[in-house]
Amino acid sequence: MPSNALIKEFQAIVGKENVLESEADRHSYSYDSAVLDPVVPEFAVRPTTSEELGKVVRLCNENGLPVTPRGSGTNLSGGTIPHKGGIVLLTNALNKIVEINEEDLYAVVQPGVVTAKFAAEVAKRGLFYPPDPGSQAVSTLGGNVAENAGGLRGLKYGVTKDYVMGVDFFDVNGELVKSGSRTVKCVTGLNLSALQVASEGTLGVFNEIILKLVPPPAANKAMMALFDDVDKASATVAAIIAAKIVPCTLELLDNVTINLVEDFTKAGLPRDAQAILLIEVDGHPGQVAEEAEKVVAICKKTGATDVKAAKDEAERNKLWEARRAALPALARAKPTTVLEDATVPRSKIPAMIKAINAIAKKYDLTIGTFGHAGDGNLHPTIMCDKRDKNEFHRVEEAVDEIFDVALSFKGTLSGEHGIGLAKAKWLEKETSAATIAYAKALKKAVDPKGILNPGKIIGG
């Protein structure tokens, strides 16, 4: 427990009102969106300037106090649970868009800027920031970089890492480390920005992030293809890619998900379809028309019972809102929602879906599967009740098996949600003892006292 004198030192840096010590505040920052037990921090600290941020990190290090950075707490892997106590470092007051440069196509932001707000500001200038996690209305850019967040447009446009040109971050001593640049090319020194991406707050605390912007596509066309069989839908994903068409979005929803989304949103999804694919192509208007036509033909050939195209922007928005509602819709079904993001090479999607359905049957569980089928990133979602010990034991076994299948297909434990606390125990299965030893050596070198988000990714 930090002494009163130490609390006063934090108050001297950020002001009394930004050291949050009440019972309610401490509990509010004890959990995130992962299905893990909460851990209550000593208190939370909310810096409002870069200078304060650096001083807070330094003070934590000087006192060996664990520090868990937190954007909006929407991560799904326990990244913001203050596992070893200490303080939660809130970034939500560091929320300035410092610069949007229309000439050189980049922006500089503080870490607490909300993703959708940033994308909207950029769009006002006629530019485009493609990474669009389903949580974008709430998540922060700092959290996105620290998790290397993906989203619905990952297939064509890539994920957060593809837009990070630089990260200025505070090291554990509160010194500002500069990496990357505002230029398209930069090979000056080690690529430390890349090291910060997906580091989950374990290697530094971001102060400012330089993000790449691109021109927006001139046109788009959204479609919904209906299938009476999930296998046909997953085979269609492979067929579209094999035809050398790269839609910006290619999402799959199975029957369980379709029905729960429909209950929630009343978007008009076809309840009797065994699967739907939501597909959007974008680019030059001529190319969009040609690709949309080809996509419809492929869907029909691979067994779609119907393909509906969004007639206007309102219909298009309705489709994407329905897709974005998938997780909240599934989460309404039962008290506990275990959402996984094991990811496989695209060609293995049909086999992966088959395996998930067999696992659901074997463990007598309800699993709804949806996700970014176009990039192999599925979200099998188990609806259960953690208080039912027998059921939850079966859930844990099912998750183990899902990971085993994904790894047997040369897939990965996490396509976008990170390792955090939730998946640390499986890390060696995918990588190797040497990989973990290397990561631990790196961590020890930059954070000898182990105060930066301890316990995440590599355990400890």
Ligand X SMILES: Cc1cc2nc3c(=O)[nH]c(=O)nc-3n(C[C@H](O)[C@H](O)[C@H](O)COP(=O)(O)OP(=O)(O)OC[C@H]3O[C@@H](n4cnc5c(N)ncnc54)[C@H](O)[C@@H]3O)c2cc1C
Q: Which of these ranges, 13-21, 42-50, 137-145, 312-320, lies near ligand X under the rule CB under 6 A?
A: 137-145
Choosing from 67, 127, 327, 422, the residue that interacts with ligand X (CB under 6 A) is: 327
- Distance linking the first and last C-alpha atoms of the chain: 20
Q: Which region, judged by CB under 6 A, interacts with ligand X, from 14-22, 122-130, 142-150, 185-193? A: 142-150
**Any contact of residue 76 with ligand X (CB under 6 A)?**
yes
Any contact of residue 453 with ligand X (CB under 6 A)?
yes
Q: CA nearest 239: which of 291, 282, 283, 299?
A: 299
What's the CA angle centered on 29, arms 26 and 35, to 5 degrees?
130
Using CB under 6 A, count the residues that bind ligand X.
37
Residue of this chain nearest to ligand X (CB atom): 143
Q: Restricting to residues 288-317, which ones interact with ligand X according to CB under 6 A? A: none
Return the residues of window 340-379 that contact ligand X according to CB under 6 A.
none
Q: Which of 150, 174, 374, 376 binds ligand X (CB under 6 A)?
A: 150
Determine, following the binding rule CB under 6 A, whether residue 274 of this chain makes contact with ligand X: no
| Closer CB to ligand X, 298 or 327, in the complex | 327
* Contact code string over 33-52 relative to ligand X, x by CB under 6 A: x-------------------
Q: Which of 41, 47, 111, 174 binds ligand X (CB under 6 A)?
A: 111
381 interacts with ligand X by CB under 6 A: no
Which CB, 143 or 217, lies closer to ligand X?
Answer: 143
144 binding ligand X? (CB under 6 A): yes
Chain positions 413 to 452 lying near ligand X, rule: CB under 6 A, are 416-417
Using CB under 6 A, which of the segments 34-42, 69-77, 95-103, 388-396 binds ligand X? 69-77
Query: What residues line the site for ligand X (CB under 6 A)?
Result: 32-33, 68-76, 79-80, 91, 111, 133-135, 139-140, 142-144, 146-147, 149-151, 200-201, 205-206, 327-328, 416-417, 453
